[in-house]
Amino acid sequence: MCGIIGFAGKSTRLSTLLDSLRKLEYRGSDSAGVAYINSSNQLISAKTVGTTEKLMDLLPDKADAGVTAAIGHSRWATHGEPSKKNAHPHLDCSRNLAVVHNGIIENFEDLRDRLLKRSHVFLSSTDSEVIAHLIEESYNGDLIDAVKRASGELEGAYAIAAVHKDHPGVVVVARKGSPLVIAHDGSRGLASSDVTPIISYTREVIYLEDGDIACLNAEGISILTTSGEPVDRPVSHIDWDEQAAEKSGYDHFMLKEIFEQPQALRNTIAGRIRDSKIVLAELSSIEQHIQKAESVKIVACGTSYHAGLVFKRFLEENAGVSAEIDVASEFRYRKNVCDANSVIVAISQSGETADTLEFLRKNRKNCSASIAVTNTVGSTITREVDTSLFLNAGPEIGVAATKTYTAQLLLLYMLAIRIAQTRGLSEEKAKDHARTLSGIPAIVEKALVSADRETRIIAELFRNTRDFLFIGRGYSYPTALEGALKLKEISYVNASAVQAGELKHGHIALLDESFPVFAVAPSDFTKVKMASNIMEVKSRCAPVVLLTDDNASFEDQLSVIKAPFVSEWLYPIIAAPYLQLFAYHMAVLRELDPDRPRNLAKSVTVE
């Protein structure tokens, strides 16, 4: 998730702009850049790999003096690896204008082809660079009009800020789908991806709406709608401090990231479902191998492993290919696991997990193709595979994987459907699945509203428990595993998970009135069997929490949470936020910091 910033007006200081840009780095930062108009009305730009810290050294001495307008960018790669050439700002061919962008331009390939035919020269592999060239094409002396016309060609999500050497003291911004806040502090117009950098200058801000274009200068700000009509947007007063602003007002990054899931899922889908067809262009180089594969080997750790378990089941049901999964720390030591007819799918949000990487290093050459599913462009895993699929979920700061888990599930469903299509899944069925997947972000969005309240009530009931056993069957067994992992890692409750059918084979001996069971039991084919497992639990006097769905009719004396009803294969993605929130509330009620659980690291780079 990138961050953009813009300052307009003679009192602009680059050092101040860079300080403000630094405040956006919590959103993720693998490279950074600025462009500004100096006192001689020249456009100067500087970019670097790494954080904003390095940028100041790249700028000429006294760069601060006479700057009239400046834009900055903190990048977290989605299209193109982290590198100087891919860092923003991007310039047009004439080098008269510079643009920074946050979001994903879904039709950038079409736009780039068209612009290339008209002799534009591209220097980066980003989707964003098309914006600079589109504005250049539309420019006839009026920067606002050019940004407006260029925006009209963009599909996807964007927050843009642009400066032009013929418009000293001016920054023009536009937004659709990506956040953008503007403000005026009396002498400068300010724009930013969020309020964090702005609140040191003013607490009165305007949240632009989709389609808005705004012009900022020393005198003030003016806003136009898509159709070019002037419009007033309400001014909001911010009473958060800077630390709270980083978390958009949430108490913890984990909670913020749980609530970011609808947007993260939209970003995962962006550009990948077109006319009800799933498009994963990244697979084109290995399509033949996928088609001929006799088996798929899935490797991952922790939460990523749970996503892999769901993938295995869905893949087998739809693609008719055998799929094997193991945790990387075991899989890497097994012998003869891959052959020339197998394809590896390695799942790792960080792309840096040591055991997963070692499995790839050992086995990659023995299989016909390898795919990484990761959230981190430029991570080590992307160099160890034939092709990578990126989650585009934005950086995850909380140690507990939340939005990256649901984004993994979504992308893995898409991958499974594409694999199935090469092996005979009908186009109609594939389209059906694609349409269903398109609706998932909205269902998660709706579910989150009540999930927060309901899980908190249950957490209050169980805040002092020492143990929890999670049970599930079918697609809900990985969900039970994930629920137990979330709970143990941030609330330190002794939580484990077992397939509900295994209860009688030993685990039930643990249960009594002080040992609660969390049953994940949607109204799918497992419902009847789950109902009898729950009876077994209750007859041992163990308290039961039931996570089910709107269609279920389980007895009501249990602590019941009802998620929206969806097809059984999709339930893991709908159920996950409930389990994340339950774990979160348990941690907070136990006065623990969910963002920094003891003994854990975000990337496990050691074996």
| Per CB under 6 A, 604 contacts ligand AGP | yes
Q: Which of residues 370-399 bind ligand AGP (CB under 6 A)?
A: 399
Interacting residue with ligand AGP among 45, 138, 350, 388 (CB under 6 A): 350
Cα–Cα nearest to 142, from 69, 213, 235: 213
Catalytic residue among 54, 277, 529, 602: 602
| Per CB under 6 A, 561 contacts ligand AGP | no
CB 518 within 8 A of CB 471: yes
Distance CA 472, CA 267 (A): 30
Instruction: Specify whether 541 is catalytic.
Output: no
Decide whether 37 or 400 has the Cβ nearer to ligand AGP. 400
Measured from the Cβ of residue 30, the count of other Cβ atoms closer than 10 Å reads 21
Catalytic residue among 2, 301, 338, 367: 2
Decide whether 151 or 348 has the Cβ nearer to ligand AGP. 348
Interacting residue with ligand AGP among 21, 401, 493, 547 (CB under 6 A): 401
Cα–Cα nearest to 436, from 568, 267, 312: 568
Distance CA 342, CA 293 (A): 5
Instruction: Specify whether 602 is catalytic.
Output: yes
Provide the strand spans (E) within 398-473: 467-472
Six-digit token string for 79: 């299209």
Least distance between ligand AGP and beta carbon 409 (Å):
13
Half-sphere exposure of 170 (CA within 13 A, CB side): 15
Decide whether 212 or 358 has the Cβ nearer to ligand AGP. 358
Q: Which of residues 169-188 bind ligand AGP (CB under 6 A)?
A: none
Least distance between ligand AGP and beta carbon 408 (Å):
8
The full length of the chain comes to 607
Q: In what order do the strands lie in the sheet with 69-75?
A: 43-49, 31-37, 69-75, 3-8, 189-192, 181-184, 204-207, 235-237
Taking CB under 6 A as the binding criterion, the range among 18-26, 349-357, 505-513, 530-538 that sits at the site for ligand AGP is 349-357
Distance CA 540, CA 509 (A): 9
Least distance between ligand AGP and beta carbon 78 (Å):
17
| Per CB under 6 A, 304 contacts ligand AGP | yes
Decide whether 447 or 576 has the Cβ nearer to ligand AGP. 576
Decide whether 25 or 355 has the Cβ nearer to ligand AGP. 355
Contacting residues for 413 by C-beta, under 8 A, at least 6 apart? 311, 314, 433, 437, 569, 570, 573
Q: Residue written as tokens 């020249």?
A: 42
Least distance between ligand AGP and beta carbon 350 (Å):
3
Decide whether 276 or 382 has the Cβ nearer to ligand AGP. 382
Decide whether 319 or 604 has the Cβ nearer to ligand AGP. 604
| Per CB under 6 A, 349 contacts ligand AGP | yes
Cα–Cα nearest to 351, from 315, 393, 388: 388
Least distance between ligand AGP and beta carbon 607 (Å):
12
Distance of CA 394 to the CA centre of its chain: 4
Using CB under 6 A, count the residues that bind ligand AGP: 15
CB 564 within 8 A of CB 548: no
CB 405 within 8 A of CB 485: no
Measured from the Cβ of residue 15, the count of other Cβ atoms closer than 10 Å reads 12
| Per CB under 6 A, 356 contacts ligand AGP | yes
Six-digit token string for 64: 């601060």
Least distance between ligand AGP and beta carbon 320 (Å):
28
3-class DSSP state of 369: strand
Least distance between ligand AGP and beta carbon 391 (Å):
10
Q: Tell me the residue number closest to ligand AGP, measured at CB.
A: 302
3-class DSSP state of 552: coil
Taking CB under 6 A as the binding criterion, the range among 9-17, 256-264, 297-305, 569-577 that sits at the site for ligand AGP is 297-305
* Residues taking part in catalysis: 2, 602
Applying CB under 6 A, the residues found at the interface with ligand AGP are: 301-304, 348-350, 353, 356, 399-401, 489, 603-604
